[in-house]
Amino acid sequence: MAGRERVVRMSVEQPLWRALTAYRVLTLVYAALLAGFGHTKYERPWVAVAFLGFLALWTLATLPRVANAASCTKRFLGLDLTVALTGVLLTPLADFDAQHMDGPTLPSIWTAGSVLAFALKGGWRWAAFASTLVAVANIVERGEPSEDTFHNVVLVWVASIAIGYVVEVARASERTLARALEIEAATRERERLARDIHDSVLQVLAMVQRRGTALGGEAAELGRMAGEQEVALRTLVSSGLVPTTRVSEDGAEGAVVRAVVTDGSDGPGSAGTDLRALLAPHAGSRVSFAEPGAPVVLAAGAARELAAAVSAALDNVRVHAGPDAQAWILVEDEPDEVIVTVRDDGPGIPEGRLDQAEGEGRLGVALSIRGRLRDLGGTAELISVPGQGTEVELKVPKVSRGKAGTTR
């Protein structure tokens, strides 16, 4: 699929929800073991048994609720915290000495799971609210809280707020990453459309303008109107509304393209294409074509993009190198790369011309040639010596590192 890529992402906080699910089960077992080993100290053991039985049913029944943020509703959080606070406040009823000793409450550290659920769902503010209620319940349960009680209360309060803050930062980072991926995908799609427009609309408008001016009369007026439309379209491109390119006026007085292309694929089951068949039609009286004796097979998308880049370079030769310029196309099939060289004997590119063309919105080399090869995982380098022609080297390994070779 040209210009399209699929990005599969998992929420960065999802592992935290899975950890919370495991924490609730493990702490339930821990609370039950504490009660079992210390059952002899309870004046009313039936209170402990009744609460822990209910806590077990509640924990197991609500595991799907703590699977993710969507299922963990405000109503559930309120009920879950109520269960935790009830267990804390029932502890003195089951154990008369609980207010005078620093032993565990009935739910023990299971209570922290309720607070952590608040942190994961709503961030540090929700965590501060829940941990404050738990702190008040623990102080009330102790009656005369000791230093250890205050220490445990502060620990839960600080830890839950810290986790809530980390969750908020993670969510903000995830949103930033998602936005960056959207921008990157949109940019690549704009560049793909740019190349398509360059190969059709702008080239036609430029040809009409040149031919109309040469013919004169009414044709000259048509050429003038075509030129105005071309300028208007280029203005939209420069503003980012309709990105496109124009190779024929990017300042390349002829071009030499040297491209190394990946042997990527267009998707499962896609067939390869012989690059020679795509380049052979360019051969003529002014263009010499040299090719290997064996097929030069590339993925269909990669072959099309490379052929389009070569076509764009030849357009520059025709426009800027003059009617008598000669061009050469050489195809080399190396073990790790395919190299296509397009060379001309034009006057070359004056220093600073490409930067000037890019500033004026004529981005043919930047997008139509370099953009294509970059999507194949390659790089582009233009070499030109005044009076000795022009050369652009585009290198892409056969082992695809780009996106065009895998999802185009």
pLDDT of residue 267: 47
Alpha-carbon distances of 36 from 46, 141, 142, 407, rounded to whole Å: 12, 21, 22, 60
Task: Supply the pTM of this predicted model.
Answer: 0.48
Per-residue pLDDT of the chain (408 residues; tens, 9 = 90+): 333 333 334 567 788 899 999 999 999 999 999 888 876 677 788 888 999 999 999 999 999 999 888 889 999 999 999 999 999 888 888 876 655 566 778 898 899 999 999 999 989 999 999 999 998 888 888 776 667 767 777 888 888 888 888 888 888 888 888 888 887 777 777 666 666 655 566 667 777 777 777 777 777 777 777 777 766 666 555 445 444 333 333 333 344 444 444 444 454 444 578 888 888 888 877 888 888 888 888 777 787 888 888 888 787 777 777 777 888 888 888 778 888 888 888 887 777 666 666 555 555 565 667 777 788 877 777 777 777 787 777 676 666 555 554 433
Measured CA to CA, the distance from residue 364 to residue 392 in angstroms comes to: 13
Coil, strand or helix at 271: coil
Q: Residues 388, 365: contact at Cβ < 8 Å?
A: no
Coil, strand or helix at 263: coil
Going by their DSSP bridges, the two strands 287-290 and 327-333 should be labelled as: parallel
